Amino acid sequence: MTLVEVKNLQHLFFSNKDYTTALHDVNFTVQAGEFVSFIGPSGCGKSTLLSILAGLIEPTAGTITYHTADPKIGYMLQQDYLFPWKTIEENILLGLKIAKKDDPKIVHDLLHAFQLSHTAPLYPSQLSGGMRQRIALARTLAIDPSLLLLDEPFSALDFYSKLLLENFVVKTLQQFQKTAILVTHDIEEAIAMSDKIYLFSHRPGTLIQTFIIPEAIRALPPFDARNHPEFQPLFQHIWKELEAHGYENIT
């Protein structure tokens, strides 16, 4: 089942003197329950695309169709942006409170599932970076979004926390049956976590290639996926494609 359909999307940023074409003729679909990654050179418009999908920016042209009633979008950024003046519990509850559906049980169940119940009365500054990103995920999941947008959510973490969190996110999204789009600079991360990878061109960003991840890798959690025999060949393949398009280094 198709969850979201993007057609002929174009976006320009205007300034007094000039304009920037951030996205040009972007077309893709995301199926319900799918995990899709976007990779591409810096500044090609990936974050802009996520902002458009989230409804934060109105695109200059093109359409986005959600095939679901009342689509709700969850957004995770590079930093957690937990509100430092609210406790962990209040942070997770906030979205529900605004939707007038505040039910502390949802928060407690989430914290319990994340094994972070003890952090409920604490403030974000008392938690480690990895814990804070998990709380940010909980805050995003609390409002039960139809689509999750993850904009490099692991890039501010150390390697060890990043691997743990990758596993955690994939497991959680499967458990809650969520559809997600991940933007990343890390090809290995994209392969290990997703079902499909969309490769973007230089700015103005457009989709130039799709890689489907083999079932065998998909079935494994990200950490084990990296050790699967098919992983390295796929990595090499994507790497070669990137080189062929003239950006050996997408970071």
Ligand X SMILES: Nc1ncnc2c1ncn2[C@@H]1O[C@H](COP(=O)(O)OP(=O)(O)OP(=O)(O)O)[C@@H](O)[C@H]1O
Which residue from 121, 114, 67 is spatially nearest to 91, judged by alpha carbons? 121
Question: How many chain residues touch ligand X (CB under 6 A)?
Answer: 11
Shortest distance in whole angstroms from residue 116 CB to ligand X? 28
Q: Please check whether residue 231 is in contact with residue 217, taking contact to mean a CB–CB distance below 8 angstroms.
A: yes
User: For residues 93 and 207, which CB has a smaller minimum distance to other proteins in the complex?
Assistant: 93
Which residue from 6, 43, 39 is spatially nearest to 25, judged by alpha carbons? 6
Strands (DSSP E) found in the chain: 2-14, 19-31, 35-39, 61-66, 73-76, 147-151, 179-183, 196-200, 207-212
- Residue 160 binding target from Mg ion, ligand X, other proteins, none, CB below 5 to 8 Å by type: none
- The one-character DSSP state at 156 is T
User: For residues 47 and 79, which CB has a smaller minimum distance to Mg ion in the complex?
Assistant: 47
43 is an interface residue for ligand X by CB under 6 A: yes
Strand partners, 112: none
Shortest distance in whole angstroms from residue 123 CB to ligand X? 29
Shortest distance in whole angstroms from residue 46 CB to Mg ion? 5
Q: What CA–CA distance (Å, rounded) separates 110 from 56? A: 26
47 is an interface residue for Mg ion by CB under 5 A: yes
78 is an interface residue for Mg ion by CB under 5 A: no
203 is an interface residue for ligand X by CB under 6 A: yes
Q: By the criterion CB under 8 A, which residues form the site for other proteins? A: 54, 56, 73-75, 77, 79, 81, 83-86, 94-95, 98-99, 123, 125, 143
What is the per-residue DSSP string for 171-236?
HHHHHTT-EEEEE-S-HHHHHHH-SEEEEE-SSSB-EEEEEEPPHHHHTS-HHHHTTSTTHHHHHH
Region near ligand X per CB under 6 A, out of 25-33, 45-53, 85-93, 137-145: 45-53
Region near ligand X per CB under 6 A, out of 42-50, 93-101, 142-150, 213-221: 42-50
End-to-end CA distance of the chain: 33
Q: Which residues bind ligand X (CB under 6 A)?
A: 13, 20, 22, 42-48, 203
Q: Which residues bind Mg ion (CB under 5 A)?
A: 47
